[in-house]
Amino acid sequence: MGSYFRLALQQDVDYIDVGHYTLTTKDDIRNEKVYMVDLHQQVLDLVRKGESWDQLYRNIKFSDDVKNWGGFETMNKLNILGMYRWVINHRRGLW
């Protein structure tokens, strides 16, 4: 995942079509990276505390800015689930 952010930010472009919702800027990519790193850390911390999926997804906190992102209500649980699956299979992350 880290290489995606590096490659996207190295491009000499003003907008990037990421295939979801609207065109993205480099600032959006930076914000997404912060989101992903934060989500990973929260999920990892909760898994290490021994929380089950049924507990864990209810304890993830999102900033008000993230809650206002397009598609948040549709995708937030799926994003948590994807990160949960990643974490339980790897337990480490390098960003």
- pLDDT confidence of residue 2: 63
User: How many residues can be counted in the chain?
Assistant: 95
- pLDDT confidence of residue 93: 52
- pLDDT tens track, the chain, 95 positions: 567 778 878 878 888 776 777 788 888 888 989 999 999 999 999 999 999 999 999 999 999 999 998 889 999 999 999 999 999 988 655 55
Instruction: Check: CB of residue 13 under 8 Å from CB of residue 60.
Output: no
CA distance 3 to 1: 5
Helix ranges (H only) for the chain are 2-10, 26-48, 53-56, 64-67, 72-90
